[in-house]
Amino acid sequence: MLGIYDLVRLVDANECRELTFTPDGNIIPADSCYSVWDADQRCANCSSYKAFKSQTRVEKEEYFENKKYHILSNPIELIHEDGSRTECVMECITVSNESVVMGQGGNGVKGMDSRSLLDSLTGLYSWDGFYEKARDTFQNSQDSEWVLIIYNIVQFKLINDLFGIPKGDEVLMKVAKLLKSKLSDGEICGRLRGDQFAVLIHKDNFDGRFVISASRELPGLLQSSQYHLHIQAGVYYVSDKTAPISSMCDRANIALSTIRGETNIHVAIFNESIMDKMLHEQYVINECERAIQAGEFMMYLQPQVREDGHIVGAEALARWVRSNGEVVPPMEFIDILERSDLIVKLDTYIWKMAAKKLAEWKDTDKSELYISVNISPKDFFYIDVYEFFEGLVKGYDIDKSKLKLEITETIMMRDALKQLALVNKLHNEGFEIEIDDFGKGYSSLSLLKDINADTLKIDKEFLKETDNDKKSENILGSVIDMSDRLSMKVITEGVETKNQLDRLVKLGCHTFQGFYFAKPMPVEDFDVIWKDNNGSL
Ligand code: C2E
Ligand code: CA
Ligand code: CA
């Protein structure tokens, strides 16, 4: 865990403690209490607010001593040696390199004196001020109904990058003025952090137009062809006025998180089904973490074959085999794990199993077989993939070219040049790189130009019957020709029929993976098939 994060902290109702981990992942809580919550509910040492008991995983940013902290809060239950349990929140913290200047410039926190009730940049309430004022508002207006809205300026960082911090400050002040101008008596508005604003308004005064009219007026605040000022809002209809303000903000934030990245959607309203979805995700995440520890994840192998059915290798695919024997397919957990950092744990676990299997095959009649493993974009972000694979091949004493690495173009979405350099390094050092799902995305050709890959893996989408058979045949043929010209091997996945196989062979493809030959199977079944059929299917 440490190594991935700069700091891991455990916060409960009374204390805030820093944690360290042993190399094998066991937690060592700090001997002494890191700090006790003060009257403002803030940890005197490390700036953390008292953890609100959240049912869900929440991401937030905090500023302290000129640094920006990105905090991922996971609700967990601590089990003590005597069996007693404490509910608390584990905060996984990354300290940003961007330094921010408290109180004197830098709109990240300009004027946000951590304990002041007012934000001196915009004149709105600060985080503390908003929380305090909102609490008063609920106490003093028992009969009214309220809506809490969190606003976020999309890609605000770009304003700073493109036009400089003073311009960013100016935009924040204008947004603050605009939001304030929409308020009626008794309603409040605050800047919680950086570019995040909150308003609390009477339910009767709220309809979607409140947000949309603010959004319409926004572009006028910044004239630029490079950047289009765009704001998104998460809305929570307050149902329990006695609940902590932080969990109300949480809910508005949860709604907001469902439209992050959408350019045409301005507003998301929190409802219980969003909560249910988040709770389900959280359940899967918790369960998966436990299942990985308990060894419930297994590596299945799907053979890759030549046209005559001879097996040349296999793809490693994860399956979750529950204690009742139920086999859970990846589509039920991969996406969820990819949204959390747990995918790294699963992937590295499967890579290890693949390396171990290759080591077992080394001096047998399977010594020529390779195993392809899947790499997710998050893996590149959290670990040194190169070091990890180097360690694996050394540790298991296997040939690098036998461990093929399947990547998709989504790895290039973040920090493309860095990822490209890393993939090319892996290739240059002798690992086989496969471009997976080729044809599923939109920019595959530009990726091919820059990346040193060995194999192109054509996606099953290409095999689907289309209205224009001739055209799809031509495209498929061109892709196969192109890989030939780029000196890349080609494999087609999703081959389900003899007809598809014959067409592909005619077009020049000679390696296949698909249900026509075999479905993914447990390693023991793979061994049996290999033995019974002399390495063929
Ligand atoms: P993928 O990497 O494209 O893997 C191939 C998928 O196509 C597998 O689905 C396989 O069962 C399926 N497939 C193979 N032949 C056929 C066929 O003839 N017809 C049809 N309809 N499907 C076929 P699976 O095992 O359900 O895995 C789904 C996806 O989950 C994988 O797609 C991969 O993206 C992801 N995944 C699976 N295991 C792992 C893992 O260990 N790590 C990561 N990061 N992703 C994984
Ligand atoms: Ca794959
Ligand atoms: Ca694929």
Nearest to 508 by CA among 487, 483, 533: 483
Beta carbons of 16 and 34 less than 8 angstroms apart? yes
Mean pLDDT of 34-47: 41
**What is the CA(461)–ligand 3 centre distance, in A?**
10
Nearest to 535 by CA among 365, 300, 354, 359: 365
Q: What Rg, from alpha-carbon coordinates, does the chain have?
A: 27
pLDDT band of residue 114 (cuts 50, 70, 90) is: very low
CA nearest ligand 1 atom 45, residue? 374
**What is the CA(9)–ligand 3 centre distance, in A?**
38
Asked if residue 244 has its Cβ within 6 Å of ligand 1, the reply is: no
| Ligand 1 atom nearest to CA at 379 | 44
- Report the distance separating Cα 404 and Cα 339, nearest Å: 24
Examine the pLDDT at 94 and tell me if it is beyond 60.
yes
- Report the distance separating Cα 415 and Cα 412, nearest Å: 7
Mean pLDDT of 86-95: 69
Report pLDDT for 110: 41
Report pLDDT for 63: 60
Examine the pLDDT at 293 and tell me if it is beyond 80.
yes
Beta carbons of 433 and 451 less than 8 angstroms apart? yes
pLDDT band of residue 134 (cuts 50, 70, 90) is: very high
Asked if residue 493 has its Cβ within 6 Å of ligand 1, the reply is: yes
Examine the pLDDT at 299 and tell me if it is beyond 90.
yes
CA nearest ligand 1 atom 2, residue? 374
Q: Considering every ligand atom, which ligand is closest to the CA of 491?
A: 3
Report pLDDT for 485: 93
pLDDT band of residue 79 (cuts 50, 70, 90) is: low
Identify which of 456, 463, 493 to mutate to test ligand 1's pocket (most ligand atoms within 8 A of the CB): 493
**What is the CA(120)–ligand 2 centre distance, in A?**
52
SS3 501: helix
Q: Considering every ligand atom, which ligand is closest to the CA of 494?
A: 1
CA nearest ligand 1 atom 21, residue? 494
pLDDT band of residue 361 (cuts 50, 70, 90) is: very high
Report pLDDT for 168: 87
| Of 370 and 451, the one with more pLDDT | 370
CA nearest ligand 1 atom 13, residue? 494
| Of 374 and 166, the one with more pLDDT | 374
**What is the CA(432)–ligand 2 centre distance, in A?**
14
Asked if residue 461 has its Cβ within 6 Å of ligand 1, the reply is: no
Q: Considering every ligand atom, which ligand is closest to the CA of 346?
A: 1
| Ligand 1 atom nearest to CA at 350 | 41
**What is the CA(395)–ligand 2 centre distance, in A?**
24
| Ligand 1 atom nearest to CA at 376 | 44
The contacts of residue 427 (CB under 8 Å, 6+ apart) are 433, 452, 453, 454
- Report the distance separating Cα 29 and Cα 15, nearest Å: 12
- The pTM for the full model equals 0.66
Tell me, what DSSP letter sits at residue 41?
S
Tell me, what DSSP letter sits at residue 52?
P
Q: Which two tokens stand for residue 27?
A: 């937690």
Asked if residue 317 has its Cβ within 6 Å of ligand 1, the reply is: yes
Quick: pLDDT tens for 140-183.
Answer: 887 789 999 999 988 887 787 778 888 888 889 989 998 888 88
- Residue type for 395, please? G
Quick: pLDDT tens for 256-279.
Answer: 988 877 777 888 999 988 888 878
Mean pLDDT of 422-435: 95
| Of 438 and 95, the one with more pLDDT | 438
Asked if residue 518 has its Cβ within 6 Å of ligand 1, the reply is: no
Report pLDDT for 308: 94
Asked if residue 330 has its Cβ within 6 Å of ligand 1, the reply is: yes
φ/ψ of residue 322, rounded to 5: -75, 165
Asked if residue 250 has its Cβ within 6 Å of ligand 1, the reply is: no
Percent of the chain's residues with pLDDT above 70: 75
SS3 433: strand
**What is the CA(434)–ligand 3 centre distance, in A?**
10
Q: Considering every ligand atom, which ligand is closest to the CA of 372?
A: 2
